[in-house]
Amino acid sequence: MSIYQFAKSIVLLAGQRIREELSQELIIETKSNPNDLVTNMDKETEAFLVSQINEHYPEHRIIGEEGHGQDVTDTEGYLWVIDPIDGTLNFVHQQQNFAISIGIFHDGKKYAGVIYDVMNDKLYHAEAGHGAYLNDQPLPVLKDTELVTSIISMNPNWLTKERTRDMYAPIVQAARSARSYGSAALDFAYVATGIIDSYITLRLHPWDFSGGMIIAEEVGAVVSNQLGEKLDPLHSSSILVANPALHQELLNDYLSPYRARLNEIHQGQFSRR
C-alpha cells in the first residue's frame, strides 16, 4: 500500500470511530479562550492517527494540532500535518460540518492531501501531480470566475474588527454572495469542487490548510497568503485561495492597496521565521 493509500485508509477508520462514538457524552475543555474548544474526540482521533502512522512509518514526522506529534522545525523526510477535527465548534454544536484533514510533504514538497467530511462520508483526496478526487470521482480543473459572479467564504468576524473591516467589506460587497462554514478544511474542499470560488481568512495554522492546499492546487486553485506569497507547512499564515483569475483580481484590486497593513499584521502574528 502506498503512503497515500495508507493515509486515506486511516482517515476513513478515524471517521468511522467518530461516527460510532457520537452518541457518547463529550468531554469539552477550553483552550486559549472560552470559544476555543477541544473535546476528547479531537484528542483521541489525533492519538489514533499518530499511533497508526508511528506503527507503519516510524521514521515519518508528525505535526498535530492537539500535540500528539513532535516539535518539527524542518521539512526533511516525510512530514504529516494533521488536524484530527477541523471545525470543532461545528462538531460540538451541530455534530456535522467538520472534517479530518491531513497534508503530507516529502522533503518540503507536497506529497498528498486528504480531507474527510465525516458525517457526509465524503473523502476529498489528492496525490500531488495526479489530480484530486471526491471519493472515486476525479475533480475537474477549476474554471476562472470574476468576483461579481463569485461566492466567497469568509468568517464574518473579520468584518467586525476595526483593523480588517475596511479591507474585507469591499470584497463581500462586490461578491455575488458570502458564506461561512466553520471548517477551513471544508472551505478548501469547497473551493476545489467549485461550491465556492474563494476562501479568504486572516489566520490559519499549518494543520488547518496543509491538506486543503494540496487538494485545491491539484485542480488549479491558487493558494497563497494575502500578500500573494506561497504557504509553508511549518508556519501559520493568512490565506487567499481561489481559481487563478479570481485570485489575481482579489490580490490586485482588493488586497494589494492594504499591503502595508497586511505586512504589519503578518509580522505581528506570524513572526516565527
Please confirm, yes or no, whether 86 is among the known catalytic residues: yes
State yes or no: 65 annotated in a binding site.
yes
88 is catalytic: yes
Smaller CB separation from Ca ion, 183 or 243: 183
User: What is d(CA 205, CA 115) in angstroms, rounded to the nearest whole number?
Assistant: 16
For residues 139 and 131, what is the distance between their CA atoms, to the nearest angstrom?
A: 7
Q: Is 208 a catalytic residue?
A: yes
Residues that bind ligand IPD (CB under 6 A): 65, 83, 86-88, 155, 182-184, 204, 208
> How far apart (Å, rounded) are the C-alpha atoms in residues 69 and 160?
35
> What is the C-alpha to C-alpha distance for residues 118 and 122, in angstroms, rounded to an integer?
7
CB 96 within 8 A of CB 90: yes
Q: Is 117 annotated as a binding residue?
A: no
By beta-carbon proximity to ligand IPD, the closer residue of 7 and 115 is 115
Whether 85 has a binding-site annotation, put simply, is yes
Residue 208 sits in the site that holds Ca ion (CB under 5 A): yes
Q: Is 86 in the site for Ca ion (CB under 5 A)?
A: yes
Q: Cα 221–222–226 angle (5° rounding)?
A: 140
**Alpha carbon distances (Å) from 262 to 91, 127, 167:** 31, 32, 10
Residue 218 annotated as binding site: no
By CB under 5 A, residue 217 contacts Ca ion: no
Sequence-ordered alpha helix ranges (H) in the chain? 3-21, 40-56, 88-94, 162-174, 184-192, 206-218, 244-249, 259-269
Of the residues 44, 46, 83, 197, which one makes contact with Ca ion according to CB under 5 A: 83
Nearer to ligand IPD, 182 or 249 (CB): 182
150: partner contacted, choices ligand IPD, Ca ion, none (Cβ within 5-8 A by kind):
none
List the interface residues with Ca ion, window 45-74 (CB under 5 A).
65
Residue numbers annotated as active site: 65, 83, 85-86, 88, 208
Q: Which residues bind Ca ion (CB under 5 A)?
A: 65, 83, 85-86, 208
